[in-house]
Structure 1
Amino acid sequence: MGRRIVTRVFPLALLCVFVLATAAFCGVAVTTGAGYKQMVEDLGRAYRESGGSLEEMYGGPIGQVLVQIKQGSGADVVISDRGALEAASQGLEFGRIEPLGETVLVLAWRKGLSLESPKDLEKREFARVAMPDPKAAIYGRAASAFLESSGIGKKLGDRLAVVSTVPQVFSYLVSGEMDAGFVNRVMVLNGGQKLGGWLEIAEGYPPLRMVAAVVQGREADAGVLSFLEFLKGEKGREILKRHGIW
């Protein structure tokens, strides 16, 4: 269960003042969408190992996560793509947005096939092409924009299948149920040996800029400031890069 909102009123404010004076830090509650859950888990583990106090909160697609924050989940920091946050904010305001780096859309294909460029998707041998749901996934929105700007989407027609998440696209490629699909960099970095290959797509969609967004009113919390410093430090940057955020 998430922390109760009542724990953030006057008693906690006094506690934060005290721990600041003694060079300690209050904890921080961090959340993200389903596609970056593993990355945030790794960041949280490393942050706790460094002595920080962190609570992880997950709730599915980023839009659902933001709704939960508005309803009082207690999350302090959201790690996600800035465009996705702006599109799904539903009035939720952020007091600080810390840039973490950029990533890209990746086109991958199953073993037994070969692809030289995205235009090869128009070949009939790519009979089943998958993309994440653009209504719920960062990379679904990027894939949708790319397919429209390149004109490839019209050529694919009913060969294009929309599934719920990036991990689902990846699993279909590994099982051979899909011939090609749009995923993220972390999927191919961690499981590329299970695929026939992949290529990064750098253009044709809005930039994928990852950020740590602090819920308005939490930007001065000691735990939040400590966690943001960790993200900018050597260990934080190392984990982000391992997950495709460069």
Structure 2
Amino acid sequence: MHAHADTATVAVASSFAPTFQQLASVFEADTGHALKVSSGSTGKFYAQIRAGAPFDVLLAADDETPRKLEAEGFSVKGQRFTYARGKLVLWSLRPDLVDDQGQVLNKGGFARLAMANPKVAPYGAAALEVLTRLGVLGPLSGRIVQGESVAQAFQFVASGNADLGFVALSQLKGADRAWQGSWWVVPPDLYTPLVQEAVLLKQGQANVAARALMGFLKGDKARALMRAHGHEF
């Protein structure tokens, strides 16, 4: 048995949710602490935290939101850190649709392109940057379908409701099955780096499990698992 076990409530960006599901199992087994996990868009969590939502830890899909939360007094100063860096992928279930240069965006041959809402989801903002820099946002605007989060964008493609979509590499590697199809790992110079920060919120300041989780995410065991899911540091 583990002494002084506690429960932490964690808000996890949708892009990181598949990876965190496995990390949480390892953390709970190693420490005896329990985690109550919610996944969603970083922007939505930001609004909820400012409105008093009882989260102890936020694992954001960006670094801007944690910085704002710290500046506004909603998190413990000096505790935020980069837990991973994400990669944007253009993915389709069709094995012949997405080429390794992303030329499909110019050529067409698809009806719907999924992406997360850029106003609340960092992966959506990254997708918008890519489309803008490639000069295809205007021509494709009528084909874009937006999900509230990158998890919803992923489901649009996985269900066939969209022919292709911008998702996180970790979603393809971290899903319950080995996803098939075709994909293009978007060059990092086409979008602002997806630096993902963890932050200890004021709610979790005295929570033993929350502080333990923050330490666990910096450790070798967690990083090895994250690397296997397509994250960098």
For this structure pair, what is the TM-score category when the shorter chain's length is used for normalisation?
Answer: 0.7 to 0.9
Which residue is 2:23 aligned to? 43
Secondary structure of the 1:206 match is coil
Runs of 4+, deviation exceeding 6 Å: none
Residue 113 of structure 2 corresponds to residue 129 of structure 1: yes
Runs of at least 5 residues in structure 2 that lack an aligned partner in the other structure: none
**Aligned-residue CA RMSD in angstroms?**
3.0
1:1-246 pair list within 5 angstroms: 27-58=7-38, 60-83=40-63, 85=65, 89=69, 91=72, 93-94=74-75, 95=77, 96-111=79-94, 112-190=96-174, 193-201=178-186, 202-216=188-202, 218=204, 222-246=208-232
What is the percent sequence identity of the aligned residues?
A: 25
Quick check: 1:34–1:58 contact (8 Å CA) kept in 2?
A: no
The Cα of 1:237 is off from its aligned counterpart by: 1.1
Quick check: 1:108–1:195 contact (8 Å CA) kept in 2?
A: no
Secondary structure of the 1:81 match is coil
How many pairs were matched up?
225
Q: Which has the larger radius of gyration?
A: 1
Runs of at least 5 residues in structure 1 that lack an aligned partner in the other structure: 1-22
CA distance in 1, matches of 2:39, 2:213: 21
Secondary structure of the 1:73 match is coil
| Deviations 1:60-80 (CA, angstroms, capped at 9, x unpaired) | 332332333334333221111
Quick check: 2:92–2:164 contact (8 Å CA) kept in 1?
A: yes
> TM-score scaled by structure 2?
0.80
Higher relative contact order (CA 8 A, sep 6+): 2
CA distance in 1, matches of 2:153, 2:54: 31
Q: Judging changes above 3 Å, is the alpha-carbon distance between structure 1 residues 233 and 146 closer, same or farther for their aligned structure 2 residues?
A: same
CA distance in 2, matches of 1:175, 1:69: 31
The Cα of 1:92 is off from its aligned counterpart by: 5.3
Q: Judging changes above 3 Å, is the alpha-carbon distance between structure 1 residues 47 and 83 closer, same or farther for their aligned structure 2 residues?
A: same
